Amino acid sequence: MASIRPHRAANGVVTYRVLWRQDGRQRGLTFTDLTSAERHRGNIERIGASAALDMLGIADSGELTLREWLDDHVANLPGIIEGTRRQYRRYVAHDLADLGRLPLAAVTEAAVAQWLQGMEQPVGADGKPGKRPSSKTLQNKHAFLSGAMKAAVRAGKIDRNPCDGQRIMRSERREMVMLTRAEFDKVHATIGRELWADLALWLVSTGMRFGEATALAPSAIDLDEGTCRITRAWKRGKDGWEIGPPKSRRSVRTINLPPQAVDIARRRIADGGDLVFVVSTGARCRQQNFFNEGWAPARGVLGTDRVPRIHDLRHTCASWMIGAGVPLVVVSRHLGHEDITTTANVYGHVDRESGAAAAAAIGRVLG
């Protein structure tokens, strides 16, 4: 005899585990819907467990679970820092805990779709709707699972990747706040501490990410040439934050610095620290401290309709470049985007001058 045991996860998703005795021990197989679970239970009772598993294309339900495959995949994944490896392990232990109970060969497109739906519409322990993760967070977790399943295809464990073709519901994207020069000057003048004022001006004048700017060593800056070589950034490591490579291959770059940034670098480097930007104790600048002590209080002068984030200083830099007529391809390389498509998608609407020039060119052809 076989039985069905329902299980409700913390996010509200219900799965159904079919249990039966086979070869003197208990076996189990988890399904994402009750109909499939009842069908499998009926097949076990009608034709036996082995034949029922054969009908699902599973030679042995205990042979290799998704969790076992993911654990092995993460442990042997090359080219990632330990902080990323730990993040993937958290995905496996928490976000993929229920799906991970399935045999690898039983992870279908429907199972992946239901897993995604459970994350898009989370349910708290009290049964009330939980906070929906951002689309970027969901994409990261789905991309991890898809990469692991793609590796399983290459290894001959499964025939196809069940993550292919899955669509993730887009969340409402927070609008970028691109400051005008007058707005930035107003905020900048309100920042009391010199370190935070320098850092704000550095971020808006270079377009660097916060983790890149605060990981800069004095040797990365050529004061005579007015250039900065970006090769590293702060990352979460095993024992906290550590310096590692920047976000992507294109993020490793050399940029030219405006005179204002060169002046800041010259003053900061003269202090003789290991990093260009450090607090009074010599420790690294933490983003939360910059936000709490410098940026958040200062941006209040703009009122409640304009609430720029720290990362909006990077967007502001890009918008100023584009507004000055700098080609998108140059802006893309300066920001360290992986390709110009990213730049065009994020800032294309700002580049009205190029749009006007394109329309004028067509007008001349027709005229």
Cα–Cα distance measured from residue 37 to residue 6, given in angstroms and rounded to the nearest whole number? 10
Domains present along the chain, CATH in parentheses: 1-173 (1.10.150.130), 181-356 (1.10.443.10)
Residue with more model confidence, 67 or 171: 67
pTM recorded for the entire structure: 0.62
Tokens of 83: 């902080």
Phi/psi region, residue 228 (left: phi>0; alpha: psi -120 to 50; beta: rest), is beta
pLDDT of residue 61: 43
pLDDT band at 286 (very low <50, low <70, confident <90, very high): very high
- Answer yes or no: is pLDDT of 59 > 60: no
Q: What is the mean pLDDT of the chain?
A: 86
Q: pLDDT tens digits for 26-37?
A: 677 878 889 989
- What's at 277, amino acid-wise? F
For 122-142, write each residue's pLDDT tens digit. 665 555 666 777 788 888 999
Secondary structure class of 357 (helix, strand, coil) = helix
Complete DSSP assignment for 265-311: HHHHHTT--SSSSB-TTSPBPPHHHIIIIIIHHHHGGG-SS----ST
Q: What percent of the chain has pLDDT over 70?
A: 90
Top mean pLDDT of 21-30, 213-222, 315-324 is at 213-222
Picking from 18, 24, 16, 17, the residue whose alpha carbon sits closest to that of residue 42 is: 18
Distances in whole angstroms, Cα of residue 250 to Cα of each of 142, 254, 334, 339: 23, 10, 10, 8
